[in-house]
Amino acid sequence: GDSVWGARPARTIARPGLRSPAALALRLQAGSIIGWSLGALALGLLAGSLGKAIAAADTANSDVTAALRAILQSQGTSLTQLLVSVLFSMVGILAATCALQAVIRMRQEEVAGTAELLLAAPVGRVRWLTGYLVLGTAAVVLVMVLAALGTWATLSGAGDTSMDATAIWQTAAAQLPAALIYLAVPALVFVLWPAATVAIGWILLGLGVVFGIFGGMVGLDQKIRDLSPFTHTPVPHGDATDWSGAWWMLGIAVLAAALSVAVMRRREVGTA
């Protein structure tokens, strides 16, 4: 039989954990997701540790406080919550990067030709794309959950009651819509203009960080800052929180993801 049929380069039947596009995508990206998640946990622990310290210091009118408020454009939060929100905005960047890398990995698989091998099996293009979108969404949620757990653990352990668990989880949840923008919009670019996926994805993220996170500190015009999804991330402070920015960003992410899935039905998969 060996003289007629050549040896296969791999197993004929995949392991149970690799029998779906999402599972394969997880296998390919597990290392990077773990890295971003550990970074988020570290920032969460740092946020909780510094929150109590900065609240105990006499910094209510300091330049540090002014800089924090310039980043968030917020005036109605406590000093602890202000610092936690700023550090969570950094975690939001990690989550957005993790989401973007899911789309970039999909493009890399296409260019390398491995996507064609996968699609030669009974796996449709839509299912392949959806697997990466699901994984990207789950990775974003994981990053923010670990950051929230780290902050909650350190604040609770220190006996700091200036920010309760509800406020911590709200601050983490507020980062999700902006991060999902950087999953869905690059996915739409991927199906419409594949060759530009990597460049446009990193450009959008870079400009979003500069305009939204650092724009207030360097005095950028508000109209320019408003181009960044991070500018519209809510800063929770009780019942007065304005969640409208989160809702419309979530709507844009859902719409972009839906359009990418619809267009993918007729898109050719190649290496160009």
Cα torsion angle, 245, 248, 254, 259, sign: negative
Cα–Cα dist 67/271, whole Å = 47
Q: C-alpha distances in angstroms, 170 versus 94, 103, 208?
A: 18, 27, 22
Q: What percent of the residues of the chain are helix, what percent strand, and what percent coil, each to the nearest 5?
A: 75, 0, 25
Q: What is the pLDDT of residue 271?
A: 61
Helical pair 125-157 and 165-174, crossing angle rounded to 10 deg: 150
Give the SS3 label for residue 237: strand
Q: Which residues of the chain have pLDDT under 50?
A: 1
Q: What is the pLDDT of residue 90?
A: 94
Q: C-alpha distances in angstroms, 16 versus 23, 33, 124?
A: 9, 21, 19
Specify whether the CB–CB gap between 151 and 103 falls below 8 A: no
Q: What is the pLDDT of residue 24?
A: 80
Q: What is the pLDDT of residue 115?
A: 75
pLDDT in tens, 188-242: 999 999 999 999 999 999 999 999 988 877 888 989 999 999 999 998 876 778 8
Q: C-alpha distances in angstroms, 232 versus 33, 133, 171, 175?
A: 25, 23, 13, 10
